[in-house]
Structure 1
Amino acid sequence: MVGATGQIGRAAVRALVADGWEVTAVSRRGGRDERWPAEVRSVAVDRNEDGALARALGDGVDVLVDVVAYDAGHGRQLTALADRIGSAVVISSAAVYEDEQGRNFDTQDEPDGFPLYPLPIPETWRTVAPGDTSYGTRKVALERELLAAGDALPTTVLRAAAVHGPYGPGPRELWFVKRALDGRPVRILAEGGRSVFHPVHVDNLAELIRLAAAKPGSRVLNGADPEAPSVAEIGAAVDAVMGVAGETVLFEGPPGKDAVGETPWTTPRPMVCGMTAAERELGYRPVTGYAESLPETVAWLTETVADRDWRDAFPGLAKYGVDFFDYAAEDAWLAARRGV
């Protein structure tokens, strides 16, 4: 497994070992997860170093799981090693989809730029063009390289929705968890709190990886949770886990320039991924639901930010350049709204 010590990799290693696979966990530092059994072999490999991945494969593997492949170059790297790989399972992203107007994740900050997707989005839906200009275009380029190999390297491409669970670099749930920890009594949500950005828990992705490893084929499948809660529903679920009762203030329309009401889920239109194909082709059934999985995530978040600035703890969330916890701006907005 390439990328074994990341958020998805940790869960996938456990699922594969439980299914009887002999797993070699590849990462840049060769680290381990404390929940892995002793028989998991850890190897330090920088895949971008010439020949490093080939050396790690040795005489070959039955299945290569790659959770960090990113672009066409990584696709070509894997197909060049097809004679040593029985089949592959590779993580892509639901960010590859675009709507009938050509709107996609790259246009979402433009006026009326957020896509209007079908509900749910099937895997046959149109995607952005392959390229090297953005996350979505690079992922499509990766997919095209792998799928073009056909039977030479049967590859299951998993288009992951908004990944959640422990060990994430940009955990969206922090938006609610930190407010509860800070004793912040108010949660202000734009778009009427109805925003839906379909999540997928790492254990559900791990289950898809496990099933695809046991049933090789060239295919594209979505990866998403059995439910797609709204941001307001997510807030209520987090509050329930943390035993708090915050006041939720809703307003229509997008967040203002001060970012009040903006969350990591905030979208003007819903994004929901269909899971019918995975159920049909792999016999997939989710192993957890959103609310069911939250206690572990909340406990991990609480521990991680206990004595650290959230930006240092979660650079993947800080990279958006939004102060998600600007309470002074929120107080000013509330005062103006209430005529104080």
Structure 2
Amino acid sequence: MRALAEDGWEVRAASRGGGRDEHWPEDVRTVRLDREDDAALASVIGDGCDVVVDMAAFGRTHARQLTGLAGRIGSAVVISSGAVYEDDRGRGFDTQNEPDGGPRYPVPISETQRTVAPGETTYSTRKVLLERELLAAGDAPPVTLLRAGAIHGPYCRTPRELYFVKRLLDGRRRRVLAYGGRSRFHPVHVANLAELIRLAAARPGSRVLNAGDPQAPTVAEIGAEIDKVLDRETETVLIDGAPEDGVGDTPWSLEHPVIYDMAAAERELGYRPVTDYAESLPGTVAWLTERLRGRDWADAFPKMVRNYGRDGLFDYAAEDAWLARHDRTAG
């Protein structure tokens, strides 16, 4: 919102709670909106607007909400996901828990890479269905779909960095990483995503673009950077292969790299990232630390619990037992 407002747009921010960020310019207006209420959405659009930025769209219903208002929408920028891609054997994010189900994408992944079949059953299939419905409408309205990587930054409801930050705050000085700590899941900071939105709003068109940071650090590099921010030292113990009974698993843990090609965004929008992972990390860590202060992590981040389970990320007992066995074997 801030990037658009500073670019000269008259901005209305719609959300279920109708709240506002303290960092937004004062002239950003807020409004309560239940996205599932077609009439409420139409009322917010009113007689028309130049651009709709949709951060919450999934599936056919939301796509048809937008296309149904085409006469009142100049263009739209809609957040999709890099999870839509599948490899040449049909493996994607939805098959990761199957035997030999980890996808092996080309490095980097371009927007021409095939996607999973559209449907209403999973996150990935719903995002593909959303894309297909919107693109099938042609320029009614023109839509830029941004296939975001692993979104990070303050206010994220599922902050992957919590995995390392909470461990350090809890006094943990050893961590276990699967796949030799080499996992790479391309991140995108909220400021870089905002820059892509800002550029796409000023250049309407129907297209699909990847959204990522300038670098895709390994999970071991991410842990080391968070150590630096909190001024801690951590010993990293590596499992060469997959997690063992959940030990070594992290929100970035993938057997094979997921790295998005940003050439199309650079070419079509003139995109240049405004930050990188390491540069942006202190702000994220400070926000996480403050949000955790005096609170149970599950209360602070309920969506993380829904996504990973309460013990899925921080089963210290299982981790300590694994480390004890590892130390006996190593000794």
CA distance in 1, matches of 2:184, 2:299: 27
Superposition pairs of residues 93-132 of structure 1, within 5 angstroms: 93-132=81-120
Cα drift, residue 323 of structure 1: 2.8
Alignment of 1:61-210 (within 5 A): 61-210=49-198
Partner of 1:216: 204
Q: Which residue of 2 aligns with 1:51?
A: 39
**Counterpart residue number, 1:9:** none
Q: Percent identity, aligned pairs only?
A: 67
- The one of 207, 214, 219 equivalent to 1:231 is 219
Q: State TM-score, norm by structure 1.
A: 0.95
1:179-328 to 2 correspondence within 5 Å?
179-257=167-245, 259-319=246-306, 320-321=308-309, 322-328=311-317
Task: Identify if the C-alpha distance between structure 1 residues 323 and 152 changes in structure 2 by more than 3 Å, giving closer, same or farther.
Answer: closer
Query: 2:267, 2:123 → 1: CA distance?
Result: 29
CA distance in 2, matches of 1:315, 1:138: 22
Q: Deviations over 1:62-110 (max 9, x none)?
A: 1111111111110001000000000110000001000000011111100
Query: What is the alpha-carbon distance in structure 1 between the residues aligned to residue 11 and residue 325 of structure 2?
Result: 58
2:8 maps to 20
Question: Are 1:338 and 2:327 counterparts?
Answer: yes
**3-state SS of paired residue (2:53):** strand
Instruction: After superposition, give the CA deviation of every residue in 1:112-162 in whole Å (9 maximum; x if it has no partner).
Output: 101100000000110011110101110011011111111221100000000
Shift of 1:289: 0.2
Deviation at 1:27?
A: 0.7
Q: Which runs of 4+ in 1 moved over 4 A?
A: none
Distance in 1 (CA, whole Å) between partners of 2:38 and 2:277 is 41
Distance between the aligned counterparts of 1:66 and 1:254, measured in 2? 36
CA distance in 1, matches of 2:130, 2:302: 25
Tell me the CA shift for residue 47 of structure 1.
1.9
TM-score by length of 2: 0.97
**144-153 or 261-270: bigger deviation:** 144-153
Whether the aligned pair in 1 keeps the contact of 2:38 and 2:65 (CA below 8 Å) is: no
Stretch moving more, 23-32 or 204-213? 23-32
Shift of the alpha carbon at 1:263? 0.6
Aligned residues: 327
Q: Give SS of 1:77's match.
A: helix
* 1:169 positional shift: 1.1
Q: CA deviation at 1:171?
A: 0.7
1:329 maps to what in 2?
318
Structure 2, unmatched stretches of 5+, are none
Residues 247 and 41 (structure 1 numbering): CA distance in 2 closer, same or farther, change over 3 Å?
same
Matching residue's letter, 1:233: E
- Unaligned stretches of 5+ in structure 1? 1-12
Give 3-state SS (helix, strand or coil) of 1:195's partner.
coil
